[in-house]
Chains A and B, each alone.
Chain A
C-alpha cells in the first residue's frame, strides 16, 4: 500500500469539532446569491483554531450597495454556524477567484502547524 495522502472527504477537526466540506457545500447551495465555490481556511491564532470560509459572490447578486453584500455575508455566517456548530468567519471573494479543479477538489487550506 502506498502512503496515505489524506481523507477522501477532507474532514478537518476545528476546536474538537468535525467539519466536513460537504456540509459547507450544502449550506451554500441553499442560499441564493452565492456560488458553491468555496475554500475552508483553518488557522491557529494563539492556542485556538479559527475557521474562515471564503465564498464567491455570484455575478447576479452583486450590488452597488455594501449593505446588501454585508447582509449576504451575515446570512451565510449564521447558516454555517448553525450547521457546523462552531464559530465561522465568512469572507466574500470575487467570482472565479478561487481555484477550479478537475477531479478531486481541494476545499481546505490548513495553515496550522499540527
Chain B
C-alpha cells in the first residue's frame, strides 16, 4: 500500500516553505505532491521516499499531519491512457475522492495517485482487470 502524507497548511506566508525545508533537512525526497486550497487553508499531499520518517519529523516540527492509503497506477503515457482507466473505474462504481498525476522516470508511463474510498477493493479490482498499479517499495524508490 502506498502511503500519502497530508499536511494542514494555514493560509500564512512561508508555511509551505517551512514544510519542505523540514523534509529537506531530514533527507526526505518528495516524489509527488499536490495542494488542495481553499480561501482559508490548504492541504498539502505528498508522496515521499520514506513516509513513516516524514510523518514523524513533521509531527515533531509541530505540523498537523496524517497518513492516508492511496493507490498508485501506472498509466500508458499516450492520449486516452487515463481515460481508459477512468472508464473502467466508473463502470465498477469506484468513486475517486481526488487524484494527481506525474510523469514517471520511465518515459512510457505516467503515474496517477488515486484517493478512493476503499483501497482494498480498488486494488483487487485493478488486479482482476490487469491494470498495473505500483507497490509501496516501487513508489518510494522512484
Residues of chain A having any CB pair with chain B under 8 Å: 57, 59, 62-66, 69-70, 73, 91-97
Which B residues lie within 8 Å of A97 (CB)?
A: 10
A64 and B4 within 8 A (CB):
yes
Which one of B4, B43, B64 has the greatest number of beta carbons of chain A within 10 Å? B64
> Given A64-B4, A94-B10, do A69 and B43 touch, yes or no (CB 8 Å)?
yes
Q: What is the interface of chain B, defined by CB distance below 8 A to chain A?
A: 4, 6, 8-10, 36, 38, 40-41, 43, 45, 62-66, 68, 97-98, 115
Does A64 lie within 8 Å of B115, measured CB to CB? yes
Judging by beta carbons under 8 Å apart, are B97 and A65 in contact? yes
Q: CA–CA, A63 to B43, complex, Å?
A: 9
In contact, B8 and A94 (Cβ under 8 angstroms): yes
CB closest chain-A residue, reference B8: A62
Could you tell me the distance between the alpha carbons of A6 and B90 in the complex, rounded to whole angstroms? 61
If the complex has contacts A69-B43, A93-B10, are A64 and B68 also in contact, measured as CB distance less than 8 A? yes
Q: Besides the contacts A64-B6, A64-B115, A94-B10, what 19 more A-B pairs have beta carbons closer than 8 Å?
A: A59-B64, A62-B65, A62-B66, A64-B43, A64-B45, A64-B66, A64-B68, A65-B97, A65-B98, A66-B36, A69-B8, A69-B38, A69-B43, A70-B38, A91-B40, A92-B41, A93-B41, A94-B64, A97-B10
Residues of A contacting B43 with CB < 8 Å? 64-66, 69
